[in-house]
Structure 1
């Protein structure tokens, strides 16, 4: 009998980390005021109001890992227009209006401190790189590029890295997720967005001073940002509808074979980690996750009496029926557009890397990447389940030897990625994998 998954407990260092980040924010704010320029009240209030508005209109769940907020644009522009203290103040104020009842006070404190640090870090990077403090005197395109554009690019990168490091520090202590794994995850998911933030921040600064539009530039910038937010919200709704369709299919499978629900979710989490380890793009990662979640959906077409039998009790013909579940599963989701790429992963999950698998005998790189990942993660699930049922710990070295014992079965690159993912994250069921033999 399997034990319930263990929930990771927060490190006792988490409160100290939050306190350190908060004190660091206060220290940076005081230093910025004491040694930096003091911003004019009018622009400071305007940019603070824009920061509050951008945070209020944020869309935190466009996807499970991607949100949308243009606060980073406001912070970036504040660094150039107001200086370090102004950027610090805008970050501080924008987070102070948080009224989420489920958020604990120390979470609010961390968010406020984090955003203020991000603001002042970007502003300091802008100054260090020679960013112009008096933008009214800038004339000519070359001056704009050298004294504003390039320093803002560096400031944008600094803000992105600062955000990733601070968030990863909190998450690694709270959820015991490896620090650098989460840093990379944030950079992969939000790095491209920060490029766009930098471009818009640059335009904002140009419109404000060199173009002479002043506060009116805020309106010119906010209008397209609000349009972009609307588009992201629609995109997020579409993705959530996709998730509901997948969840409905998994629920249907669970009514026939309840254990398959947990297997599907474990497989999806591990497959997603492996896809990230391989450096796949967001679309491919989504395809892998969908394919892993629905890799047993074909069991809906298999008689229940066969699913309940032990594998060794099945006849050859009965085994053949079960083995066809991958083909039946691919047919069941045919016509669902967003699952089209996942269909091939489901159909070919039992192919062998040497071409001796089923149903089509394809080999090597011709096997879809999702199917190659599924083949390995399904085997890991079998090995881990067997070890847990025997009341012992599934050692990582043991899993590795089992995966590598049949050279022609799995893609060696996928095997290596799976072992790295297991070493970093552990098995998603909560069963710890050891490093011994």
Structure 2
């Protein structure tokens, strides 16, 4: 009995010490009582709910709304009905005045923050992101950074649906006619400028133009060049970075005969039509151009990666996405978030990729699906659109993109047609930017 008592006492001490020791571990078979990774997600009520989303026809066609939003949401959440308000037909201020504020509004990054703030629609979506365990790390890190800058807040005020991705489109017939080698993936802007010089010439009385790279804002976005010092509230348009930007972009426009007639001022629509008509050899454009090319089977075209700047190798354009924001006034925020969650699911994003809408998710396997559903474009170098990283958006604080673009475009357009010299153009733009800054600060 004495030996038994001693044995039991030793066992009791061992158990007691194990319970008190921080180094002791429970058996591997023991399961935690509450593991967030395995907890069931919150469930939406079964009562019918309608989510109204406001987005323009350019962001989503009617067919895309049905295919990528309405139908997948109805399949996953039968109680949710999604109604689309076409921003091309209805205006947000009118809806707000009528007390019909949408549950979700879509903005491009430039006007996003100012629009949400102006109409008092800003809403911090991060509690819902946490509640439904939405993994924001699925996004490319540059996209996440841009989302916060676009919203003008230190929190996420919206999530991107997809992004317009960029490439250098080229007309193979023009290159063949003039004996110039096709553009290749990985080219820089100065190399593209040399190609454009060889392709800008008259052909049987028809002026062929070598390149349209879009307006000055594209190089600003690619290099993330700041246009103001918001600590000192002062313009930065006369610094060396802006001088270099005007020079490299100017080298693309100052080719003789490139900016004649209807093309004196950069205009994306006119140049897309010129490309479809066979009078423009190259156009640096985004994936929406694919829709134009669907209706232009006569164009023998292909694409290469979007040209890079030597100071920023591997960087393309910034996020050019419809950013979907739940409004502060929405009474169905949970249902609205589940609509966004469904849109950003791997299943729906894969379908969008196959249809030519570029994902902002960083999954390389997903990226490999880009354009596979566009049977009319089989054999085209569509993967060129998936290879570059996003540029990060430049903070704009209280300066709306549209106001800044007007100042930059006015100065650059005068420079490329030799109405003014480079230094005068930048100095004038700098003065106008400082004036704009003071106007905004007084409000």
Q: Give the TM-score of the pair, scaled to structure 2.
A: 0.21
Give the structure with the larger strand fraction.
Answer: 2
* Greater fraction of residues in helix: 1
What TM-score do you get using the length of structure 1 for normalisation? 0.21
Higher relative contact order (Cα pairs below 8 Å, separated by 6+ residues): 2
Give the greater-gyration-radius structure (CA): 2
